[in-house]
Chains A and B, each alone.
Chain A
Amino acid sequence: MARNPYLPYPARLEETIVENDAKDIKTFRLAFDDPAGAAEFQYLPGQFAELSLPGMGEAPFGIASSPTETGRLLFSVKRTGLFTAELHSIEPGARIGVRGPMGKPFPWDRVAGKDLLIIGGGFAFTTLRSAIVYILDPANRSRFGSVLAVYGARTPGELMYRADLAAWQKRDDIGVHLTVDKPDQNWTQHVGVVTAVLETLTPSARNTLAIVCGPPIMIKFTLLTLSKLGFSDDAIILSLEMRMKCGIGKCGRCNIGSKFVCTDGPVFTREELKTLPVEY
């Protein structure tokens, strides 16, 4: 009999990592209680899961780890409401439920053989981290062409995954450009919005797919820039945020037009989004 889709896999919090100076974004490393649960939880970058704390409810979060990081299941969460505040306060060893993986991942079959432009802003970098770790894995790297990543935040202290970013910047098989709105005295990299960096770099749209995750205002201007650079709507891949409950296409909450973000998304091309009402 199929597993009850409402029943989470039992897991425990292994480690909490504070990601930003404001200390309101933390990465949670989880471990499944049961090896069978770990074996069943097969995901690809771009997918999400529902985390739950008994009595505090359940909420959807993008998976920040890559399936190539065996045994490391990561979620980066900004403290925003009741559930996330509780999540931010629990200690290692605490019980946590994981339902998923859910939704469609980034279109990895389409990405194979192509160059990639990855653009992220603020704390929406979680599934992009997953994507980059996945691409850079030695078993995968040769399947993809060149990779260029542009990541912006308000201040240097708001950039997430700083150890990963530093490690990636030392490699020659990925270009990583970081930019901040407000630099501090130690900042030596780009200053300004991601679109300004893109206009300096002028990446080619030829044989390239762009993956864009960030706050709505960043998305809005990035799409204009990508169009100017020659990216077709079908070559631009976005991931939607939407309030969700069931995560399995039944509760109706994340419905936009004829799509359900939880099962048809959260990953959509710009072309697909153009057919939907702008209710996201």
Chain B
Amino acid sequence: MRVIAVVLAIVFFVLGILYGTGTINYFTESGAAHSHHVKHLVVMWVLALLCLIWARFQSAPRR
């Protein structure tokens, strides 16, 4: 589970960068290429962060 969470975090992080640089434009307002989709970048990075937190829960020592 921990590995899946980390892989997902990396995927979301990279997707965020691709949205931010305008390399991909799926589900965006204009659908226009090469524009910066800040909203999508932030959402992807928040998801990446949540995946990292999930990974943290998997790796912490149990009491």
Physical interaction between A and B: no
Q: List residues of chain B with CB under 8 Å of any chain A CB.
A: none
Residues of A within 8 A of B (CB): none
